[in-house]
Structure formats: structure tokens, C-alpha cells
Structure 1
Amino acid sequence: MPVVDENEKNPYLRDPPSDFAPVEELSETAAREQVDRLREAVREHDRRYYVESEPLIADRTYDALFGRLRELEAEFDLDHPDSPTRSVGGEPIEEFETVEHVAPMLSIEGSGDIEDVREFDDRVHRDVGDVRYVCEPKFDGVSMEFVYEDGRLERAVTRGDGREGDDVTANARTIGSVPQQLHGDYPDFLTVRGEVYMPKDAFQAYNRERIERGEDPFANPRNATAGTIRQLDPSVVAERPLAVFYFDVLEASDLADSHRAALERFPDYGLRTNDRVEVVADIEDAIDYRDRLLEARDDLDYEIDGVVIKVDDREAREELGRTARHDRWAFAYKFPARAEVTSIADVAVQVGRTGRLTPVALLEPVDVGGVTVSRASLHNPEEIAEKNVNIGDTVRVQRAGDVIPYVEEVLEKGSEGHYELPDACPVCDSPVERDGPMAFCTGGLGCDAQLRRSIEYYASDDGLDLEGLGEKSVRQLVDAGLLESVADLYALEREDLTELEGWGETSAENLCAEIEASREPPLPDFLSALGIPLVGPTTARELAREFGSFEALREAAEAEPERLEGIDDVGETVAETIHEFFLSEANAAVVDDVLEHVSPQAVAIDEGDELAGLTFVFTGSLEDMTRGEAQDLVETHGANATSSVSGNTDYLVAGENPGATKQDDARDNDVPILDAAEFRRLLEENGIDSE
């Protein structure tokens, strides 16, 4: 039976009121009545918006009705699994349940060869005679089964292996074009097949947001869709722009005689169909349909990789039957892969750890050397101007060293002029400054993008080497609201971590122990971990040896930057960079917050000369000291510690799990390789205490 009849009086359907009586003035009976009407109205507005594309009310009015419904359900404990409010997501789940499909979801036999298409038609005619075909776009998304009982969404299941898949009902409920309750004169039982996808414009906008947040973008809309639908937290799915086209009946208590007739009923039920579906008389018309859709492909707001040609008559389908892998009444006539030439849909600006702005072209996905590419580097403003690249241009894309995609040239202008970098950082809105061909955000560690990357660097091998805190886990902790600064690392507790997906008691305890052990770091490690531009581990050691304490270095960097210029590895440019880092109010605030929890250990600045003239390289881990401590030790006694082996290297010290490259370089250059015990004996022979 229908859920909403427009002839019934529902005050929230047309010209709904914008003011509501206070919740405390409603009786439970009045609240229930209002909730029922609101649910009916919201479902109808969803159908009008997602299926008919003819909304009755403005978005703001819809939001008011939706908000009122949520408020009443919460206040009067009226939650219901069919409620439209389920579209905002529920509680995270531990894992998906595997369930059997109502009917097999088989694959589609296909080819890009026109002769294979005609051979399919010949076989159909041999087996069942003349037929009409229904031609549809072949969507490049995620195929799913949707089961409705008495009009209510019972479950949504991924295709899986075609026989069974994952129950992702909680996630499917968050997709706007998935009705919780069917409309119209629907069958008592209906199972349909649909394609979940991410619209191209929404995909580009979402990728842009990810890049500007410092996250890796998705390769293409299908990957974005697949990754989203398998999220264990439905609220994450609700935030991502997914949609559905429904294109087949798998099982029903009332089956139409033809595929086309079944599709024509879908909109009445509230199931969204694609407007490019056509019925054709013969295979040549189907081939013409494919060619027309290929030409229109770039104008569609969804990815397709071909067309599907289906026998329309249901009896003929039954007679044709199926193989173990595919239905014999359908064939996919595939498009050729896009190769190298594509268009720029948008440009995102990525902010790195040092504040450098890198423009990234967001492309209509294209095949380059067998890899689907959806983004390409534009390098810097000067190169953009030189190539005259802008949004809307048709470009040729190449992969540098078969790895990094880049825009090689503009083939056809679809815009005026070239892309200009923004004057303000897209993340924190701080002014952007140019340095030659480069551009930098001036927000420092007050910029969220720089902050997240700074936390990653702080925990990296070149920082404090906090095992268990990599890019993925930092992103997770930032997204969960547990890290808003580097200093927040020291406020993390085991219980904070174990509540997150993927964290067990052991991993949480290990990370907390790592963080606790980093409260008194060696000064060189701490200086490097701060991520001061142009200051890596080697320069950090030189600064530590010169100033001895963090306070002395900071004071000199702020007031006497010229003192830094004479230090090894520190010239005028590096000195000025260090000076600007410490003068930044945002950086100073972050550093001060960290110092509330961390006490960098001073180093001796009175150097000996026991190892003067020697050069050491370290690889692997030493038993009783970190690599950084070993480097500091030899440098304190007059030696040099470098990161790579050359003919000027005197010793390579190899601890546990050493790098093979450095050992090979040592052998090629006849450099002695010392193990940990031999290194300590060398120190003792020179009167150096290594304890």
C-alpha cells in the first residue's frame, strides 16, 4: 500500500510550516502523530528529490523538517529502523555479516569487439528467435542487492562472489537515493539490483577536500565508492556523496512480463532509474546506441565503461538461461579505455609539512600505461604559466619514471588563461608567499595541514621514531578529534585508542609506552622532530653540538640568527629559515605546548678531538643507543657522521637489521664495516666512554 497519498492532508508536504511548538508542550500522542506525518513527508521529499528531480520544497525547509523529526524521535524515544533519520548513520559495527543472495548476482559476458556483439545476437536468435533489446549504460560502480519486504528495506548486500556478499544495510540506509520504505503499489516482496556510485562532480570535490586535508585522494570514483560502502562506521558513509541507479529485478512476488515494463514501475516505488535506457529493435540499433553513448560519455556525471544489451522479454530470458558465471540473455559492449588524453576537472592545492603549496590537477580518470590516473602534478606556478594549464583544458598526461603522473601539454584550451594559485592557504586562510617558483603558506604549525604532517614527521624515523604512529594512525587520531596539536600526543590514554577501529589492548599500550619514553629526547632528535624547514637530522646534530641546549638555540635563532650561519650545514638561507620558524607566533605556541610535556636533553658542547678527521656512517639499530645518540657521540669527539657511504667514509657501523645498500656501497669503496661490539672497542681504544 502507498506510504503517501498527495490527496491526504499532510501539513509537511506542501508549504510546510517553518515554526514548531516547543517539544515540552507536546504530549506523547501528539508527538507520535507529528513523527508519523514528518516521516511520510520526508520520504516523499526524498523521492521527489532523488527520483523525480523535482523537489517540492527548498533545501533549508527540508533541513528544518528533518531536524524536527530527529528532535522528536530523540525526545520521545521514537526511533525506528525505517525512519529517514537513519540516513545520518548509526553506531559503528565490528564486522559485516556474510549472507546469501535471494537470487544469483552473476557477471555479464562482454567484449569491446563488435563481432563478439553480433555473435551474441546470432546465438540469441538461434535459441529464441526475434527479440527486442533494452540498452543501458554499464555503470562503473559497486553492484548491490536491495531486498524489500512489505515495502520496507530489509537488507542491502554487496555482490561478493555472486552467490553471497556482505550485509551493508546500515551503510545503504545513509544513501539518499535508497528508500527505507517503497512508495506506490509495490509488490509484497521485491529484490532489485542497483549500482552504487559516486557522481563525478562530487568525486572531484571530495578528492579536492582530501588533498587539501593532506590525505591521499581516491584513484577513481569506483574505488571511492567501494572504499566507502565497506566502512564499518555508517556515519562516515553518510558524509560521502553516494547515489544509486536501480536497473534490474532479481526476484519479486509480482514480475512484469518484460524488463522495460519492470523498469517503468521503479520510479513509482521510489527507485531511481537512469534516463539513458532505450528499447531497440535489433542489434544494429544497439550498436548505434553504444556509439552515441560513447560520444556522450564525458558529459555524463557518472562513470560508465560500456553499455549493457539485454533481452527485453522475460520468457525469452528464462529460455536462454545462464551459465555458471553469467546470464546468457545479456552482453556488455565495452568502451575502449581512455588513454593518456583527458580533461582537467578541477585543481586542488596540497599543503605540505613545510607549508609548500603544490597544485594538483584532478583529472577525468584516464588509462596511462595500464594504470588508471585521476590526478597529476602541476609542480609549481611557473610551470603552470609556461604550459598555460587551467581547469577545463584537454591535456596529455604522462607518468614520470612510470610512477608520478604529470601534465605533459595542453592539447585543447577549454578555459581562459592559466590557473592561478590562491593568495590565501586553502586550509588555514593564512597569506601565501612566493619564493622563486615556489609558494608557501605562512600559517606554520597553526595550519591544520602542516600540523598533521608535522605530527607524522614528529613520530617518524627522522623525528622521535615513535613506533606504531604512522601516516594512517595519525590521520585516524586527528579525524577522531584526539590530536589537534603535537602536544596532544602526550595526553593520549590507552582507553582513547582501544575505542577506535583496529586498536587492541596491546597496540594501544605499546604506543602509549613509546610516547611516554619520548618525554626526554636527545636534543638533536627533538630539533629534527620539530620539522623546521631545511633542518634534517644532520643539521639538527650540528645545531645541538653548537648550542648544547634547546633554550640556547631558540634564543640565538630569535635574536642573533647570524650566529647560526657559521655552523656546518647552516648557511644564510637555512639560518634565515630557522629564524623565521621561531619568530612565528603559531610555531612558538605549538613548541611551547610541546615543552610542557617534553624536556630535550642537553648535549655536551665541549668537544674532544679523539676521533678528529674520521667519518662514520651508521645503519641498523644498535643495542644500547639510538643511531642519533651514536652519531652525536662520535661528533662530540671530533668525527663527522654522514648519511651515505662514499670514498671519504672511514667506517660503516652496522647494527641489527642493517640496510643492504649501505653495506654494498661500503664494500664497493673498501670501507671497513664494524658491528656494534667492534664499534665499542674502537671507542674504548680512543679513550671514549660509550656507557
Structure 2
Amino acid sequence: MPENIQQKIEQLREELHQHNYSYYVLDDPDISDFEFDAKLKELQELEQNHPEFYDSNSPTLRVGGGITKNFPTVHHQFRMYSLDNSYDFNDLADWEKRIQKAIAEPVEFVAELKYDGASISILYENGKLKEAVTRGDGFQGDEITANVRTISDIPLTLKGDFPERFFMRGEIYLTRKNFDKINAAREEEGLDPFMNPRNTASGSLKIQDSAEVRKRGLSAVLYQFVAENLPAETHWELLENAKSWGFRTSAQSKLCRTMDDVKAFIEYWDTERHNLPFEIDGIVLKVNSLKQQQQLGYTAKAPRWAMAYKFKAEKVETELQAVTYQVGRTGAITPVANLKPVLLAGTVVKRASLHNEDIIKKLDLHENDFVFVEKGGEIIPKIVGVNTEKRNPANPEIQYIKNCPECGTELVKPEDQAIHFCPNEMHCPPQVMGKMIHYVSRKALNIESLGQETIAQLYREKLIENPADFYVLTKEQLLPLERMADKSAQNIIDGIEKSKEIPFEKVLFGIGIKHVGETVAKKLVKNFTTIDDLKNATLEELCQVEDIGEKIAYSIVDFFKNQENNLMVERLKSYGVQLEKGESANEVLSHVLEGKTFLFTGKLSLFTRDAAEEMVEKHGGKNISAVSKNLNYLVVGEKAGSKLKKAQDIGTITILDEQQFLDLIGNKK
């Protein structure tokens, strides 16, 4: 029977890998999304019931879920060089002359789109994804394998006749559509939008929860094969081979016989890039012959056989019509330039962020100035200069506002920050609504039926002023609202009622204490099991909690000094919202680890670090944060580093692998 189950699991894995290849590489799906999801679910259930057949490259691991607190530094076996840049065709002509001087034979080039994202190096051994490392400084980078596994464009297992061991280099990026989707979700939660897809993609790769990385919808393109021995004579042939092995390569790449072909390719994409579903900032050119590449070699920082042609950032001139000011959830004031509409990089631009008062002063901005607006790699346009020759001398300088545009309160500007704030956090409308939008957001109380528009309506009708007011809303109050049907109203009431089951750490995150994010909220709940314990904690007690510094501690103390906040918290308690650690969290399964201390290190594969620490507590043990003589057990995963060495040096610490730890507690997860 186990053999039959193993065969079924392996068959499903193979099928799903093939379907992923058809969908992401060939762009030719051979089954529906519904059928794919059904097979994936079947495989998930089989793997869950039979963990003995675990495979780190199973398609089910695409969904993520592993937590990585630290990303180990890994040295690149083959250095990841930078590329020299060119900005016009004269630069390319000079580059071609240098090549012709070194190589007395015809030279072909491969022209590729220069994707605007984060560079990655992925190691494959025996057809399996082994390790993924960021570019870093070119000599070493951060190991982010768990996060890269969640990207569907990147194959976990290969097909065909592939080399035994090699690296694939590529770019991880965000499509415009997914970037817009992320920002729409952030704005709905009252958070500031991300500035551009490149930085968002790069930042996403360092998120600790791989399940959250999966939700970002990252894409990838692979463009360079690296190994001791190259199984081809040209770069173009390597790209073709990589595609047959299962890699998604750029469909727009072109083999160019002459530099005229290269120039035609560049001119075409300088215009057409605005129609692509992703950002590019130039074209990468490579000598096609691998033998010629070897002859040309490298400078101290870049290969002589490659060049990046960078597109000039598009810049247009338009008229500044007014400067307005936005108030964020935290009270931060953002000045915005309202512009005479102008076409820029394929879209009509009407607004540009001015960020803060310092930027306005640096630009020496006057009313009705004619300004230069640039997009470059930024999705959000920015003003990069002023055409002072067109300025009317009678137009006054832009003066930064002194009072909040929404509530009239005098603004404050902390000495160590460039941003002005409205201090009226309890009664300034955008701040009040922002806090309530944050409270119902997915990562907090997750009241899906309460959207941004509904909250704005309820606030305008004076039905809500803070999160506690949600719990006294009635269906009769909701029905008269615009576009509110009976079913919608009932869904809201049901959603609010269900939110009373949400655990304490999510509620703590949801009530919006400044600087208390998801991770901080979890750590606070571990140390202060009720909201009253947290409220009564001293500054010193707060600072003793791991990762809680003075800035966060002062913010917590200040929150509870405010009587309106205390009243809101008391009301939430009275309505049944979870403001203490649940009994299930404190449930003790056994006392087999009583009096023993534990620390986990390395990359864990059988459980997450949080789950491991929870198991220790549920079986009577204690987690500590450092290797010392007080440590009884060090549980090590893959690539355990300095903590393992230190424990071995001490000599009295018992070292376990993950399975031995599970055996110690009777395999009770």
C-alpha cells in the first residue's frame, strides 16, 4: 500500500510540474485552472497524510508558509558581475571597435530586454532546485530559497537532458498589473503605496513569511547559464536549451548578425516598451559566441563581452496648477503637485508626489511654474526641475501649509524627520477612517464585508468614530445607506460578529498602536497575555521583550496614556473581542520538556520556527534566544552556522535534528 501511495504522489508531482511548464514556459496550458487546483489539492492531502514522502521540490510548496527569520550569507561560486552602461549609439560603436580589435573574426550579438527587477542566482543539482541567492555585492548574497520556490515561473524540477550541476541567473520582477493590485490593497488598508515595481520585487524577496511572498505574484525570467563546463558553443544555443529544460526565458530576445540589427532592436523597444506588461529600463547585449566571450574576458567589475544600453528617462514639460496635501492614516502629510495633464511614457500624468517640504524648497517651486516631469524607472511621476525662463516673476513661492488641510490642527515636524504630521489623531477624518480601515483589514480583524467606501459612509453618517463602534451597529442603521441591500447589511453584521473570534495578537495589530506591526504584536502577546498586562507594563519591561526598542515602547506607553484609547479598549473587551491570549494558546499537552531550554537554528523543513517554539511551550519547555551554558538542546536544520559551532565548543549542549526533536516530544505536533 505505501508503495502505491508513493507512486501516486510522484505521478501527481510529475503531472503538475509538466502543467506548470506548459502554462508558464510554453504559454500553452493543457488543463483548466479548476483541474490543476483539484490535482494540487489531492497531492496536498496525500503529502499531509504521508510526510515520509516529503520532497522539498514538490509543487505543493509553491504556496509557501515557511518562516525565515534570517537569510544566511552565501558566497557565489561564480561572481555576479555588473554590466557597463551605454546611453547612445556612439557608446555601442566604441564597444564594437574594442571587440573587433581583440577578435579578428565576425561577431554576432544576442539582444535581450533589460528587465527592471532583482537579480538572482539559482543552483540546480541533478535537475532539482537546490539554492537561490540574491546578487548582493556580486561576491556574496542572501540565501532566499524558500521564497524563490513560491515563484511559478521558476521550475523546481527540470526535464530533458540537462547538466548535472549548474547555475541559472535571472531577474525577479513584478508585472504592472500585480504591482497595481498590491498598491490598491495597501491603499484600502490605509497604507502608503509602494513607489515602483523594482523595489517592491526586491523587498518582497526578503519577506520572512514565504506564504506572503507567494501573494505578491512575483514573476521571473532566466537569461544566463553558468557552470564549469558549458554544453553549447553559443549563448543563443544555451537559451534554447534552458527553455527545453523548463526555464522561462524572454520571448523578445533576438539573435543579431550585425550592429545595425542591434540598433533596430533598440529603436523598436524604445517605443514599444510602454506596451509591455512589465517594466524594462534598457537592452542587454551579449557577444553570442562563448569562445569569443572567453577571449574577451572581464574588467575588474564587468564582462567585456556584454553591454547594457540604458533608455533615457522620459521627461516632459507641463504647468503646475496647484499643490494640495494628503493626510495619511498615521497623520503624515504628503504634498502633491496637480499638473496640467500631459502624456508621459504611455500614460496621461495629472499628479506627482512632492514628498515633503524639503523637496519643494530644493526645487524652489513657485505657483504656476512650468515643471519638468520624469518617470524613468518610477511608476509614480516626479518633478525633476523647473523651467525658470518661463516663470512669471510675480508668481509667489509655494509656502508649505501650517495647518492640517482636513481638520485645521497645527502641524508638527519631528526634528529627526522630513515629514510634517497632524497630531489630531483621534479626530482628524482621514486618520480616523484610516485607523478603522486598518482595523478591518485582512491581516487584522479580517472583516471582508466592510470596505473603504462603506466605512467612509458610516463615518459621514456619524455612526462610527473608532473600531469599538462597529460592534454596536445594527442592520436597521445600515439599510438606509446608499447601495446597501438586505444581504449586504446582514453580511456586515455577521462579519463583525465573527471578528470576535480573531486572536489577541491580530486585534492588537488592528487597534493601530504606532510602530506595532504584525510581528511586534505577536511578540508582545507572548510576553503580556492580556491587554491589561500590556497597558500596565513599564517602559523597562517593554524594552526587555525581544526586538522591542525604546521607540516602540514609548509608542505603547503613549497609546495607553490617551483616555480615548483606553475607553475604546474597554468597550472592545465588553463586546467580546479577544484581548487576552486564548486558552488554546496556553494549552499544555505534556510535561516531557519540563525544565528544559531549547533553541532552533538553521533552515527548518519539517516545521516553522514559530511552530517549533510553540511545541516547546506546549510540552513544558522554554525557548531561549542565544547559545549559552543555560541551553539544554540546540535543534539544527540545514546550513546551521555559528550557533552550532558555539554549542559544540561548549560541549554540554545536546544537539538534535528536527526528527529527533519530534521523537523527544512523542511526535506530537
TM-score relative to the length of structure 2:
0.57
Q: Rate the CA distance shift 1:457–1:290 in 2: closer, same or farther, 3 A.
A: same
What amino acid is the match of 1:51? V
Contact 1:112 1:335 in 2 (8 A): yes
Distance 2:89 2:342 in 1: 39
1:397 has 2:352 as partner: yes
Equivalent of 2:203 in 224, 227, 239: 227
Q: Which of 563, 586, 607 is residue 526 of structure 1 equivalent to?
A: 563
Query: Partners in 1 of 2:454 and 2:144 — Cα distance?
Result: 44
1:83 paired residue number? 58
- Shift of the alpha carbon at 1:173? 1.1
Identify which of 465, 470, 474 aligns with 2:514. 470
* Equivalent AA in structure 2 for residue 81 of structure 1: S
Q: Does 1:445 align with 2:488?
A: no
Partner of 1:617 in structure 2? none
- 2:454 aligned with 1:431, yes or no? yes
> Which residues of 2 match residues 54-69 of structure 1 at below 5 A?
54-69=28-43
Alpha carbons 1:341, 1:394 under 8 Å: kept: no
Q: How does 1:101-500 map to 2 (within 5 A)?
A: 101-128=76-103, 129-251=105-227, 253-339=229-315, 393-395=348-350, 397=352, 399=354, 401=357, 403=359, 428-429=450-451, 431=454, 444-445=466-467, 470-471=514-515, 473-476=516-519, 489-490=531-532
Alignment-mate amino acid for residue 123 of structure 1? R
* Kept after mapping to 1: 8 A contact 2:76/2:139: yes
Q: Does 1:590 align with 2:572?
A: yes
Q: Give CA deviations for 1:472-497 in whole Å, capped at 9, x if unaligned.
A: x235456x6999xxx97447699xxx
**Preserved contact between residue 111 and residue 283 of structure 2 (Cα < 8 Å):** yes
SS at match of 2:517: helix
Q: What's 2:25 paired with?
A: 51
Query: 1:304: how far off?
Result: 0.9
Q: Which amino acid aligns with 1:98?
A: T
Partner Cα distance (1:58, 1:258) in 2: 37
CA contact (8 A) 2:243 2:249 kept: yes
Q: Which residue of 2 aligns with 1:656?
A: none
Which amino acid is 2:93 matched to?
Answer: R
Partner of 1:571: none
On the 8 A contact 1:137/1:308 being kept in 2, the answer is: yes
C-alpha distance in structure 1 between counterparts of 2:136 and 2:244, whole Å = 29
Measure, in 1, the Cα distance between the counterparts of 2:327 and 2:73. 41
Aligned equivalents of 2:456, 2:312: Cα separation in 1: 44
In structure 1, distance between residues paired with 2:201 and 2:160: 30
Q: 1:151 to 1:64 in 2, by over 3 A?
A: same
1:566-585 correspondence to structure 2 within 5 Å: none
Indicate the SS of the match to 1:131.
coil
Aligned pair in 2 of structure 1 residues 158, 333: CA closer, same or farther (>3 Å)? Answer: same
Q: In 2, Cα distance between the equivalents of 1:116 and 1:36?
A: 53
Shift of 1:445: 1.7
**How big is the alpha-carbon RMSD for the aligned residues of Structure 1 and Structure 2?**
5.0
Residues 1:516 and 1:135: Cα distance change in structure 2 (over 3 Å): closer
Q: Deviations over 1:314-370 (max 9, x none)?
A: 11111111111000001111011133689xxxxxxx99659x9x9x9xxxxxxxxxx
Which residue identity lines up with residue 126 of structure 1 in the other structure? K
Structure 1: segments with no counterpart, 5+ residues: 1-26, 343-349, 361-374, 412-423, 460-468, 495-501, 531-549, 551-581, 599-691
Aligned to 1:16: none
| Number of equivalences | 451
Distance 1:86 1:491 in 2: 39
How big is the shift at 1:115? 1.3
SS of 1:431's equivalent in the other structure is: helix
- CA 301–387 in structure 1, closer or farther in 2 if over 3 Å, else same: closer
Q: How far apart, in 2, do the equivalents of 1:228 and 1:85 lie?
A: 20
Give the partner amino acid of 2:152.
G
Displacement of 1:507:
5.1
Change in CA separation of 1:95 and 1:440 when aligned onto 2, cut-off 3 Å: farther
Of residues 2, 21, 46, the one that matches 1:72 is: 46
Q: 1:509 to 1:187 in 2, by over 3 A?
A: closer
In structure 1, what is the equivalent of residue 14 of structure 2?
Answer: 40
Task: Tell me how far 1:470 sits from its aligned partner.
Answer: 3.0
Paired residues of 2:520 and 2:547 also in contact (CA < 8 A): no
- 2:217 alignment partner, SS class: coil
Shift of 1:148: 1.1
1:48 to 1:351, Cα distance in 2 relative to 1, 3 A: farther
What is the CA distance between 1:245 and its match in structure 2?
A: 0.5
Q: Report SS of the residue matched to 1:134.
A: strand
**How much has 1:273 moved relative to structure 2?**
0.6
Is there any run of 5+ residues in structure 2 with no aligned partner, and where? 319-325, 374-435, 442-449, 471-495, 497-503, 537-541, 581-669
CA contact 1:188–1:253 (8 Å) conserved in 2: no
Q: 1:503 to 1:335 in 2, by over 3 A?
A: farther
Q: In structure 2, what is the Cα distance between the partners aligned to 1:110 and 1:266? A: 26
Question: d(CA) in 1 for partners of 2:348 and 2:549?
Answer: 52
Tell me which of 36, 59, 67 is aligned to 1:92: 67
Cα–Cα, structure 1 residues 597 and 275, in superposed 2: closer, same or farther, change >3 Å? closer
Aligned in 2, Cα 1:477/1:187: closer, same or farther, shift over 3 Å? Answer: same
Identity of aligned residues (%): 28
Q: Is 1:148–1:191's contact at 8 Å kept on the other side of the alignment?
A: yes
- Cα displacement (A) at 1:265: 1.4
- Aligned-pair distance for 1:303? 1.3
1:204-255 superposed Cα distances (whole Å, 9 cap, x missing partner): 1111112211223221111111111122332222222111101111116452
C-alpha distance in structure 1 between counterparts of 2:161 and 2:178, whole Å: 33
Is the Cα–Cα contact under 8 Å of residues 452 and 474 in structure 1 kept in the other structure?
Answer: no
Equivalent position amino acid for 2:24 in 1? Y
